[in-house]
Amino acid sequence: MAAAKRAPRRSKPPARRTSQRYTIDASVFVNAFNPHEDGHAQSLQILATTQEQGDPVIVPTLLLAEVASAVARASDDSAGALQYANAAAALPHLTLVTLTPAMARQAAELAATHRLRGADAVYLAVARRYGTTLVSRDDEQRTRGSAVAPCQTPEEALGDRPSRIFGRTPPRR
């Protein structure tokens, strides 16, 4: 009896990755800037991964002032701090959200209800409004904010996601 020929198996098309949506706190951008801080590589990696994967990053305009301030104070380089903040704002998949009076009232409610610092409440108000996961280095913000929106560290957000770390550090002057 002759062996029956099997039809070649068709491989399934690769599963399409669903896009993640994030609100990334200034603490992650600042940590990504300083290669001497603990967690720097992971903070840089989550920023790189969101851009490589085209994941939407939705942040309050407050991010710019927070990043410029922290970087200038740490580096004593105002021009470099502004350059880094502007580079962050220009990331292709990053959307800056204006703090409207309605959003400010929501942030105030979150701050009072969950005993959050004001800026932390603004990021959480954005995460709640846009259905994003907040990524932050701030333990208190993540702990208290988890009642409002999903909250993760950069390491948790990276999970099993494939990515490459940029071969360069963020721009410095």
Task: Report the distance separating Cα 63 and Cα 78, nearest Å.
Answer: 16
- Give percent of the chain above pLDDT 70: 81
Does some domain include residue 13? Answer: no
Does some domain include residue 6? Answer: no
Does some domain include residue 82? Answer: yes
Measured over the CA atoms of residue 117, residue 104, residue 147 and residue 37, the dihedral's sign is negative
Residue 57 has pLDDT above 80, yes or no: yes
Q: Which string of b and e fits 64-81 if b means at least 16 CB within 10 Å? A: bebbbebbbeeeeeeebb
Q: Please, what is the average pLDDT of the chain?
A: 88
Does some domain include residue 57? Answer: yes
Residue 15 has pLDDT above 80, yes or no: no
Instruction: Point out the least confidently predicted range of 12-21, 23-32, 51-60, 70-79.
Output: 12-21
Amino acid of residue 40: H
Does some domain include residue 93? Answer: yes
pLDDT band for position 143 (cuts 50, 70, 90): very high
Does some domain include residue 169? Answer: no
pLDDT band for position 100 (cuts 50, 70, 90): very high
pLDDT of res. 167: 36
Does some domain include residue 89? Answer: yes
Q: How many domains are there within the chain?
A: 1
φ, ψ dihedrals at 11, nearest 5°: -80, 145
> Can you give the CATH number for the domain in which 77 is found?
3.40.50.1010
Q: Which domain holds residue 50?
A: 22-158
Does some domain include residue 8? Answer: no
pLDDT of res. 2: 54
